[in-house]
Structure 1
Amino acid sequence: MRILLAWADETSPNLGVRALGRGSQDLLQRIWPEAEFTYMNYGTKPDAVTWSPRGLIREWVTGRRGMRDWLGGFDLYWDTRSGDSFSDIYGLPRHTTMSLIHEFAARSHVPTILAPQTIGPFGSRRSRLLARRDVHRSKLVLARDPMSARASASLGRPVDLTTTDLVFGIDQPVPEPGNDVLLNVSGLLWRSLHHGDPHVYRRQIEGVIDGLLDRGRAVTLFPHVLDSADADNDVPLAVELRDRYDGRLDLVIPRDLDHARALIAGARVVIGARMHACLNALSTGTPAIAMAYSRKFAPLMSELQWPHVVDAGRSDDAVGRILAAVDDPELTAQARKAQARGQHMLAGAAELVGSSQ
């Protein structure tokens, strides 16, 4: 069994992308213990593949790169779309590239599965047309929340299962204790105008830090997108905040996904705007207060029966809600219930995928 894991990998500076890859592999390996896995992502592009939409059309006609033969060597195309890129919120070119490669695989007679992910929103006619072709060409379509299931149904293809995020399929880490509050500050939200008001987000973060320090809590800054040439990373901002607070904040930079999950599992609570920082936490039974910047957060967390989600970059009352959640004595017990629910929901996905082949 040869499986192509699309749009996830083991080396991305974004630990959420790594979590999708690891969750996919751990889930599928339980179904097919002898499976062989190959990753395909922007940082791990195979030689036979082109990202260009024009290049993909040219390759279908000429076959010069051998992409059809390369794809045809797999028994399954497992399409994660980076968790939330089956949409045009990150731009139509990204959505177009991912959709065309999915179609290329389907036309190469490889069974394609849309792994558990967010589906939509689709803001243009072209975007919807691309999405419609993908869901109709997929052997299985799995959504990780009910809103995504409704988005797929609106394209004329009801999902085969509404489950949860793949992070709940990752094997449990050995906790590395020593941290009280891990605070993930998103470099994306700190700078970008596309996901809320960065000035509001900055006030929120400063209010949370000040409120935690006033309560005597130990705060450790925790990047979840590691340093790279891409401006969308959390490390420089974490260093800047540590220096600004003159030694009152700690900083820990994870070495890799395993280290991140061990740190999270040993912490008392995580506060974060990177969704997989929060999902890594809940999947290990650690409470996570999510600072949501898109519609991917709330419906997924709601299905886990996890209420601690606030709006990042939009509402100044988020600070009070975050601090109240941190003070909640039932927080850890709630997190353990969310963990168990997520594991149970994802087990249903494994059963469905295993029976489909």
Structure 2
Amino acid sequence: MTSDNLGVGALTLAHIAILEEIAARLDRRPEFVICGWRDPNPPYLTRPDLEVVELRLKDFVRPRGGLYSVLRGCDAVLDISAGDSFTDIYGPKRFGTMLAAKRLTLMAGRPLILAPQTIGPFEKPWTRRLALSVMRRADVLATRDDLSTEFLRTEGYDGPVIAASDVALRLPWTRPERTGGGRVKVGLNVSGLLFNGGYSGENMFGLRESYADMIRTLVARLTAREDIELHLVGHVISDRIEVEDDYRVCQRLGAEFPAAIVAPRFRDPVAAKSYISGMDFFSGARMHACIAAFSTGVPVLPMAYSRKFAGLFGALGYDVMADCRKDSAETILAAFDDALARRDEIAARMQGSLDRGLARLGLYEAAVEQCLRTTIGPRG
């Protein structure tokens, strides 16, 4: 609810929208407890039926206090692991907190709903064993892509899995009124993390060529075209962690290329999605910025840097994509030009993929509703 990463916030707000619909069918009035890391940002949403609990590391290890006490006060727990953090590739600390949250839910005797997420990889035998132990005890287990489902099977998980999609497809939005002339509005999300070489500053994601050089070339080409109105769109906006901040990089590029429009510092994920919905074409390396475009009917070219892109969009039959790890800069630029030129054709085909994603997400929503019916039931 307070994350610098608007993609993480999108997962939270979309879940609230989903749960409100389920609660209405159960004739229940929901109360939400949102648990996340302590953050100085104000919550995206404040209202009487919503409590935000800010966690610190010690809250995961206190045996009868901290997060455990919070979970005991809930009827059910939906755990989405920030979308892609139930893995050991980010180090033992993050894996430990992701695992602890799930184990504490089970210790508290509350239904554990593992919401649609990328699961794995687990590169160490001990992390694999511990992850499987909690997944086998979950009441609902959903993935957001077929690659995660296949991974679970290869790792020895033989329980039920819902092959769903990303819940951010259900994030609310409002399309802005069209303003300006007849130029084509092109949105470009620039990842500050990739632009800065990752946390190490040394191409930690193994991109084939310099992302920063490729982006500068692309911005130069687009701002030189009189038929294009280029918008530089940040989706992770962080004052505290400069290496992650998209907005600073967009400002820097805006100063280098004054013809580009730097999108505002969005106050929440809904504002970001609504702004993106006003574009005629979109491209970016932040997956949830691309999901915002995709789910509002804006033709989009995702610039992938991990398997989660291909897993999510591939499962929906959407094959318009560039791969920054495998493709040369020239190949990516050519793919951008091609997709931009074919944007009307791509938009016409997108609806089928979006319908597929919403149908897959509906399977998850039905499972959550059934779990809540069993746990609390409709009002008698």
TM-score by length of 1: 0.89
The percent of aligned pairs where both chains have the same amino acid is 30
Correspondence for 1:116? 116
Alpha-carbon distance in structure 2 between the residues aligned to 1:195 and 1:260: 25
Tell me, yes or no, if the aligned pair for 2:33 and 2:53 is still in contact at 8 Å: no
- Aligned CA distance change for structure 1 residues 66 and 119 (closer, same or farther; 3 Å): closer
2:148 aligned with 1:177: no
Q: Kindly report which structure 2 residues correspond to 1:214-293, keeping only aligned pairs within 5 A, or say none.
A: 214-215=224-225, 216-231=227-242, 232-245=244-257, 247-253=258-264, 254-293=266-305
How far did residue 214 of structure 1 move?
4.6
Q: Kindly report which structure 2 residues correspond to 1:28-107, keeping only aligned pairs within 5 A, or say none.
A: 28-33=19-24, 34-43=29-38, 46=53, 50-52=56-58, 56-57=60-61, 59-60=62-63, 63=64, 65=65, 67-107=67-107
Tell me, yes or no, if the aligned pair for 2:116 and 2:143 is still in contact at 8 Å: yes
Correspondence for 2:339? 325
Q: After superposition, what is the alpha-carbon deviation per residue over 1:186-238, rounded to whole angstroms, capped at 9, x for unaligned?
A: 00111112213485212321232233335432211000011321121101111
Structure 1's unaligned 5+ residue stretches are: 1-8
Q: Following superposition, which runs of at least 4 residues in structure 1 exceed 6 angstroms of deviation?
A: none
Q: After superposition, what is the alpha-carbon deviation per residue over 1:83-112, rounded to whole angstroms, capped at 9, x for unaligned?
A: 010112322210111111210111110100
Alpha-carbon distance in structure 1 between the residues aligned to 2:213 and 2:67: 49
Alpha-carbon distance in structure 1 between the residues aligned to 2:185 and 2:263: 12
How far did residue 314 of structure 1 move?
4.3
Tell me, yes or no, if the aligned pair for 2:190 and 2:234 is still in contact at 8 Å: yes
How far did residue 300 of structure 1 move?
0.8
2:229 aligned with 1:212: no
Alpha-carbon distance in structure 2 between the residues aligned to 1:222 and 1:176: 18
Tell me, yes or no, if the aligned pair for 1:143 and 1:149 is still in contact at 8 Å: yes
- Aligned CA distance change for structure 1 residues 56 and 276 (closer, same or farther; 3 Å): closer
Paired AA for residue 124 in structure 2: S
Equivalent residue for 1:336, pick from 346, 351, 359:
351
How far did residue 50 of structure 1 move?
4.6
How far did residue 326 of structure 1 move?
1.0
Correspondence for 1:131? 131
How far did residue 275 of structure 1 move?
0.2
Give the secondary-structure state (helix, strand or coil) at the position aligned to 1:330. Answer: helix
Structure 2's unaligned 5+ residue stretches are: 40-51, 373-380
Q: After superposition, what is the alpha-carbon deviation per residue over 1:92-141, rounded to whole angstroms, capped at 9, x for unaligned?
A: 21011111121011111010011001011112123212311221121110
How far did residue 81 of structure 1 move?
0.5
How far did residue 40 of structure 1 move?
0.8
Correspondence for 2:14? 23
2:204 aligned with 1:194: yes
Deviates most, 344-353 or 173-182: 173-182
Alpha-carbon distance in structure 2 between the residues aligned to 1:46 and 1:23: 18
Correspondence for 1:3? none
Equivalent residue for 2:317, pick from 299, 305, 309:
305
Tell me, yes or no, if the aligned pair for 2:37 and 2:56 is still in contact at 8 Å: no
Paired AA for residue 127 in structure 2: S
- Aligned CA distance change for structure 1 residues 250 and 184 (closer, same or farther; 3 Å): same
Tell me, yes or no, if the aligned pair for 1:287 and 1:331 is still in contact at 8 Å: yes
Tell me, yes or no, if the aligned pair for 2:38 and 2:56 is still in contact at 8 Å: no
Alpha-carbon distance in structure 1 between the residues aligned to 2:299 and 2:287: 13
Paired AA for residue 29 in structure 1: E
Correspondence for 1:4? none
Give the secondary-structure state (helix, strand or coil) at the position aligned to 1:218. Answer: strand
Alpha-carbon distance in structure 2 between the residues aligned to 1:67 and 1:213: 50
2:347 aligned with 1:347: no
Give the secondary-structure state (helix, strand or coil) at the position aligned to 2:119. Answer: coil
Paired AA for residue 164 in structure 1: S
Tell me, yes or no, if the aligned pair for 1:242 and 1:248 is still in contact at 8 Å: yes
Alpha-carbon distance in structure 2 between the residues aligned to 1:195 and 1:226: 20
Give the secondary-structure state (helix, strand or coil) at the position aligned to 1:180. Answer: strand
Tell me, yes or no, if the aligned pair for 1:283 and 1:342 is still in contact at 8 Å: no
Alpha-carbon distance in structure 1 between the residues aligned to 2:105 and 2:22: 22
Give the secondary-structure state (helix, strand or coil) at the position aligned to 2:90. Answer: coil
Alpha-carbon distance in structure 1 between the residues aligned to 2:152 and 2:138: 12
Alpha-carbon distance in structure 2 between the residues aligned to 1:32 and 1:197: 44
Q: CA RMSD for the aligned pairs?
A: 2.0
Tell me, yes or no, if the aligned pair for 2:113 and 2:139 is still in contact at 8 Å: yes
